[in-house]
Chain A
Amino acid sequence: KQEVTQIPAALSVPEGENLVLNCSFTDSAIYNLQWFRQDPGKGLTSLLLIQSSQREQTSGRLNASLDKSSGRSTLYIAASQPGDSATYLCAVHNAGNNRKLIWGLGTSLAVNP
């Protein structure tokens, strides 16, 4: 059974720091992995999608990597800003009949001015 773990659960950093959020998963039979951002009580915004055959994806200050064999993904945020404060969720798209997403519980990020 696929399980997704995100570390750390919470993170508080000063503005300008580069930071890394971690996501690990137990079953490498995946279609892809997706990183989302969620502001408190709000919807889910897709940040990056990495297909299982890819190693990384970049969008602006964000870079996500995928190592399927070791069951790990990292989200790198460069030069963090207060507007980056949110919860970051990692979701693994399981291969198989359901094709459902398996979610981590998220990392709550606070970037302090």
Chain B
Amino acid sequence: EAQVTQNPRYLITVTGKKLTVTCSQNMNHEYMSWYRQDPGLGLRQIYYSMNVEVTDKGDVPEGYKVSRKEKRNFPLILESPSPNQTSLYFCASSPGQGLGGYTFGSGTRLTVV
């Protein structure tokens, strides 16, 4: 089954403790991205990657890092999480050049206390 897999689904952590949210897709998609969703603000892009070793900032990149060492994986790293990063996070992938739609992971609900 074609899918984007995110882990974990839920995470509660403390301020400053480094964490990684994993994302993997099995569709050989070139493009992957991370979004966060907050009430009243909608979905905002954090980082994106157009292919292996090619990543760039989205609209709200502060406090996040990403890497794309393999085509299928695109982890999101929070080096020193803060309470304002409490949010619902989504990973997405799509074929290149607008050839198809986006497929989203099931989401990761992160709480930073």
Chain A residues close to B by CB (< 8 Å) = 31-32, 34, 36, 41-44, 46, 49, 51-52, 89, 91, 93, 95, 98-101, 103-106
- In the complex, what's the smallest C-beta–C-beta distance from A34 to chain B, in angstroms? 5
- In the complex, what's the smallest C-beta–C-beta distance from A83 to chain B, in angstroms? 19
Q: Which of A31, A46, A51, A103 contacts B103 (CB 8 A)?
A: A46
Residues B103 and A106 in contact, CB atoms below 8 Å apart:
no
Can you offer 26 A-B residue contacts whose CB atoms are under 8 A? A32-B98, A32-B101, A34-B101, A34-B102, A36-B104, A41-B88, A43-B90, A43-B104, A44-B90, A44-B104, A46-B103, A49-B101, A52-B98, A89-B43, A98-B45, A98-B56, A98-B58, A99-B31, A99-B50, A99-B97, A100-B33, A100-B45, A101-B92, A103-B42, A103-B43, A104-B42
Q: Which of B43, B48, B90 contacts A98 (CB 8 A)?
A: B48
Chain B residues close to A by CB (< 8 Å) = 31, 33, 35, 40, 42-43, 45, 48, 50, 56, 58, 88, 90, 92, 94, 96-98, 100-107, 109
Task: List the A residue with the shortest CB-CB distance to B100.
Answer: A49
A106: chain B residues at CB < 8 Å are 42
The majority secondary structure among interface residues of chain B is: strand
Q: Which of A49, A89, A100, A103 contacts B48 (CB 8 A)?
A: A100
B103: chain A residues at CB < 8 Å are 46
A43: chain B residues at CB < 8 Å are 90, 104-107
- In the complex, what's the smallest C-beta–C-beta distance from B29 to chain A, in angstroms? 11
Top-3 shortest CB links A-B: A31-B98, A49-B101, A43-B106
The majority secondary structure among interface residues of chain A is: strand
Residues B107 and A42 in contact, CB atoms below 8 Å apart:
yes
Task: List the B residue with the shortest CB-CB distance to A105.
Answer: B42
Sample of 12 more A-B contacts, CB < 8 Å, known A46-B102, A49-B101, A98-B48: A31-B97, A41-B109, A42-B106, A44-B107, A52-B98, A91-B43, A93-B98, A95-B98, A99-B50, A99-B97, A105-B40, A105-B42
